Structure formats: C-alpha cells, structure tokens
Structure 1
Amino acid sequence: MRDWLLPFGLGGVGLAALCCFTPLLPWMFSILGVSGALGYVYRDDVLLPILAGFLLLTGYALWRRKRTK
C-alpha cells in the first residue's frame, strides 16, 4: 500500500467525470436517499473543480512516480 496516490487520483477522476458528463449523480443520490442535496452538488461550479483537483492529484502522482524511478 505504498503508492496509493495514483489509484486514488484515477478513481476520483473517473467518478468525477462520470458525474459531470452522465446522469450518474442523481441516480446515486436517490439510491443513497440524499436527493435533497442534489441541487447543491449537481452544478458545474462544484463538479468541475472537483474534477480539476483529481486531475492535478493524478498528475502529481505520475510526476512523483517518474521522479523516483
């Protein structure tokens, strides 16, 4: 479990991209029973910075992996 940063970043990018570009987030929120929070979260000004943050995290993990080899 030494290198957890890259899988975490890639998983976050994948999930954020799915929530941004497909109607996955409303389905997940309704299954979890928190669909009242959907109006606050399902907006581009919330999801796109999350996607950008996970992209930066993935880039940092790749840079760190390349630097240590």
Structure 2
Amino acid sequence: MKDRTLLTTGIVGSVIAAICCFTPALVILLPFVGLAAWLAFADYVLFPLLFLFLGITAYALLLRHRHKKAAC
C-alpha cells in the first residue's frame, strides 16, 4: 500500500471516529434510523477504532519520514 493511501486512510478514519466519539452525531442520527439501542455499546467500538486509525496515521507518517530520509 502506498504511503499516501495509508496516510489518507488513517486521517479520514480518525476524523470520522472522532466526530462520532466527541460530538452527539450518533445520538442524533441513530434514533432516526431505528438503531438507538446501539448507543449503549458505541463507546466500546468507537474509541478502539479511533486509536487504530491514529496508529495507522502515525505509521504512515513514519514510513513517509523514512522514505524522505533515505532519498536524501
């Protein structure tokens, strides 16, 4: 996987997970589609996803840094 694709995936996933974790987006949207019962378990899924995507972003930045350092 290219560094740019990995970095984009990490950043987009982190932003989406952060929006769902730290704003009432899920509290507003899920009852409208009939999934309000899932709100009790949202934190058990969203926080690990946020940390996973932040880890992917950090890994992609590390790879990018190594490639730039090797090119010099």
- TM-score, with length taken from structure 2: 0.72
RMSD of aligned Cα (Å): 1.9
Identity of matched residues, %: 42
In the alignment, which residue of structure 2 is the partner of 1:20?
A: 21
Computing the radius of gyration over CA atoms, which structure comes out larger, 1 or 2? 2
Q: Distance in 1 between matches of 2:14 and 2:55?
A: 10
What 5-or-longer segments of structure 2 have no aligned partner?
A: none
Structure 1 residue identity aligned to 2:41: Y
What 5-or-longer segments of structure 1 have no aligned partner?
A: none
Q: Distance in 2 between matches of 1:29 and 1:5?
A: 29
Map 1:28-67 onto structure 2 (within 5 A): 28-30=29-31, 34-41=35-42, 43=43, 45-67=44-66
Structure 1 residue identity aligned to 2:47: L
| Larger relative helix fraction | 2
* Number of corresponding residues: 66
